[in-house]
Structure 1
């Protein structure tokens, strides 16, 4: 046992004495005043290597605001790293939505770039600070765990593989022939991001403002999933994913999501996930194509062509409902999307041009003959409900010929008119010219190149400032949604149940009167049903919730009454009188 005691005594004698932050700052100050390292070491009874280590970290130590007596500060992640990871997630989501392969090396390089940009914007920073973040493998593994991202490769992806594309086209042709698929039965779907308030960068307002500064709302993004068949005669209802489930404009305009021309879904990232995609397949795509094929007396079988985006898992057919087992899925090879995917062959690009045209038309109609500036238009006269109408108009404007021609690289035999170059020259310039004309009439300086750049920007790399704007816009939308719900709750509380009941009785009398005396009962009933769904249902829900609360309250009161045994009749009367009625 003696050796053990000796060992403990030896260890105790060599206990390391910690240097407080206060002393470290004194050492740094003395060195900056010209005192030699050797003299400092002798003064504090420390080795010269210890003093040198402190001096190497002097910039970090000088920035610390530690309490007196603190010997070490626990390592905390700098705020700038938190911001880097938030913006990095926005960037990764956008890249994956575009179908781009994101690898570990690419993410780490982007993280370092974001860090450098953010640090350079901080006051009092130096080059030394900018080089402090290495985006190491350890950081990347921790980032993956914290953020929950997946589908990230650990090696560089190859560029679009022309050979793989050629092989796939041959396999696809064999499948079409062997299974006797018709163009009406073969579909393609693809997601795309849309900055629904974005304007050209080089936009000047000649009437009242010198330049359009970067507007945060213009970075507001949503994701659309488009789908159509190879014959071009059938478009499936699109899926739209936004970062807010119930935007304030929905409540203001009494929007019923089930009646929209898109399938509305939401998540914090505003992108299509596996779950949302399967919902769209089973609730929209399956029923729609089944009805289309039966109405056109076509065999009940469908081939859906897709890329290998994160939302499109290989086992998708296992997620289909039993009634949709006639749907078969075939995936494009990795890195061949730009070469083969029909939706990427001018379809989505055409949609975005038509969207931009309709956006400019809306802007012109609202501001023409008024003193409204574009900033006021964005803030007060253009919201997500207007955007939905424009999306519907633009998607409707994508013609059968454009949809059919998009299959020229994958299935040229199904394309009816192969004179595509002439067609492109005939159709595209008028749309762009109309946009430029509308912009000019509003006092905006732009040309065809600006419009082309704007359309392409939806799929281009976002700058650090744009990523920050996008992140802040999404946070602001969520806060506004919470605020709106609080206002709605206060408004509801100001109504009494008797007022709601009386109003509903009056509405019932109006219904009976209109049904009895209106010459066109079909039109009258349709109008009243619409009003019922959009307006009266809100008040019925209020009454229903209150009735449930009242029933629950009565049960509680009854339980309290049963368990209460008054000592005399006077106490009993007093108790009953004190109960709320």
Structure 2
């Protein structure tokens, strides 16, 4: 048998995908200048995994910070002068640098492990008493890039709903059994959906705050500590008969005051604050060890599940649901489902780098579990007509960390102003005073009346036009109200069912453990 022939097409394709050393240098330079991996993948039409491989190849070189050109043997040295200016101009508080800087960060992290262990031993903290929190962005209307909804939105002028971003601050203890109510920052104090649903912000499952850029500020963070974290930690410790002593671990984000303990109210002064060293967050910060990533995967899973359930039980298409019936109120309920759905195993495993003793061998988070969640998201996506694979989902999760440009922020504010102006309060009030039973009764009477006229009136043509006109101009309004309530009822059933299922699953697991 002769050698396998390679077609010209295959050969050309292979050459197209090959990356010369010059191109790799260019990618590394741009990444060191602050360009994100996901943006590099878009620019060079490669997968994010390919870009990451190139960057890792650079890290593996013998000379820190140097990349060797295998063809010429000449070392390529990446510039690092941009780093401090980049931090100052963007406000980024923690960036993992490569080469010598990365070695310094790793050494700082290793040294800190001894300091942390000493504090734990000296103060006698146990996992239930040690808490960690971190912030993350969430594009709550974003879809995978290859879906048809994303393609449609790119062609739309003006505001893009998928750019609508919020910021969440999440906090939990090392034992994973005390999840704190999250802090949520949005660009609107009172979104339109809050008014139509008569939402009382103090009853939300998050602490709601707002500013134009949807950023966590020091003021908001201190309020969260005093109004939420302090109360919930104190209640948890008392209910579990634990000493009134707690440790809150933070990174050096701008929103975290360096003197936070001075801002804590007197009744919560039992909470001590410990800061991680600069540039060690990706290495030591527990919330960065798959907790936030898993939260975003669960958020996406519940969102797709909601889409599937609602479109299946109504006449809504996915496009209808996404554009007209998925709002911030529904998003908040999905956030709560995702936060409550993070397993204790995930939360305890997150401490394996900072506090290894907390994690037993059987409690480490398994890769199979993470893969199963992504597979479920892909499967749900396909049931509602979206073309995607696991790579699309992982890319979507990474994109949640992107920041908005000033132009996009202005578009968001303009859109919010337009929505307020478009509200028709009289129509909403009229809808509220009519009960569902009254609408159903009236529609039933109209159906009988129109049927009687159609059968008994001699002027079939003229009466047919008259009843059709009356039906379209008068009765359709009430049918729309009823249909809208039925859609919201479908959403309520979805959330009730999901919460009940999770409660039953949790009870079953507890029963199994007790056996």
- TM-score normalised per structure 1: 0.55
1:480 aligns with 2:414: no
1:388 matches 2:332: yes
The offset of 1:198, in angstroms, is 0.7
Contact 1:357 1:431 in 2 (8 A): yes
Deviations 1:178-199 (A, max 9, x none): 0000100000000000000111
**Which residue of structure 1 lines up, in the alignment, with residue 393 of structure 2?**
451
Matched with 1:291 is 235
1:362 Cα offset (Å): 1.3
* CA 1:319–1:446: 2 relative to 1, 3 Å: same
Cα offsets for 1:180-219 (capped at 9, x unmatched)? 00100000000000000111001147xxx98664671111
3-state SS in 2 of match to 1:161? helix
Instruction: Give the Cα–Cα distance (whole angstroms) in 1 for the partners of residues 428 and 399 of structure 2.
Output: 42
**CA–CA distance in 2 between the matches of 1:454 and 1:359?**
13
Q: Which residue of 1 aligns with 2:215?
A: 271
Between the aligned partners of 1:380 and 1:254, the Cα distance in structure 2 is: 18
Match of 1:195 among 124, 131, 139: 139
Deviations 1:411-470 (A, max 9, x none): 0001134563xx4223112211111111111121111111111111112466x7xx6445
Q: Once the two structures are superposed, what CA deviation does each residue of 1:4-27 show, in whole Å capped at 9, x if it has no partner?
A: xxxxxxxxxxxxxxxxxxxxxxxx
Distance in 2 (CA, whole Å) between partners of 1:284 and 1:451 is 33
1:313 CA drift (Å) = 1.4
**Does the 8 Å contact 2:93/2:254 carry over to 1?**
no
Which residue matches 2:284?
340
Q: 2:437 is matched with which residue?
A: none
1:103-122 superposed matches below 5 A? none
Aligned residue for 1:237? Answer: 181
Residue 340 of structure 1: CA displacement?
A: 0.5
Native 8 Å contact 2:93 2:253 kept in 1: no
User: Cα distance 1:491–1:362, how it changes in 2: closer, same or farther (>3 A)?
Assistant: closer
Among 226, 237, 256, the residue aligned to 1:312: 256
Instruction: Specify every segment of 5 or more residues in structure 1 that has no aligned partner in the other structure, as ranges.
Output: 1-104, 118-139, 495-499, 501-581
Distance 2:115 2:251 in 1: 16
Q: Which has the larger radius of gyration?
A: 1
Task: Specify whether residues 460 and 469 from structure 1 end up closer, same or farther in structure 2 by C-alpha distance, changes over 3 A only.
Answer: closer
Q: Distance in 1 between matches of 2:225 and 2:297?
A: 27
**Structure 1 vs Structure 2 CA RMSD:** 3.3
Q: Distance in 1 between matches of 2:324 and 2:106?
A: 49
Counterpart in the other structure of 1:424: 366
Counterpart Cα distance in 1 of 2:110 and 2:208: 37
Bigger Cα displacement from structure 2, 184-193 vs 469-478:
469-478
CA distance in 1 between counterparts of 2:313 and 2:426 reads 39
The DSSP-based 3-state class of the residue aligned with 1:187 is strand
Quote the residue 2:122 is aligned against.
Answer: 178
Structure 2 CA distance, aligned partners of 1:169 and 1:336? 11
Instruction: Note the alpha carbon deviations across 1:334-387, whole angstroms, 9 max, x for none.
Output: 111000000000000000000000110111122226664433222211000000
- Are the equivalent residues in 2 in contact too, given 1:286–1:324 (CA < 8 A)? yes
Secondary structure in 1 matching 2:366: helix
Corresponding position: 1:409 with 2:353:
yes
Which residue, 70, 94, 106 being the options, matches 1:162? 106
Matches within 5 A, 1:77-92: none
SS at 2:308 equivalent: helix
Q: Is the 8 A contact 1:303 1:328 kept in 2?
A: yes
Unaligned runs of 5+ in 2: 1-31, 44-84, 434-515
Secondary structure of the corresponding residue to residue 235 of structure 1:
coil
2:266 to 291, 299, 322: 322
- Residue 258 of structure 2 aligns to a residue whose secondary structure is coil
2: CA distance, partners of 1:163 / 1:269: 35
| Structure 2 equivalent of residue 543 of structure 1 | none
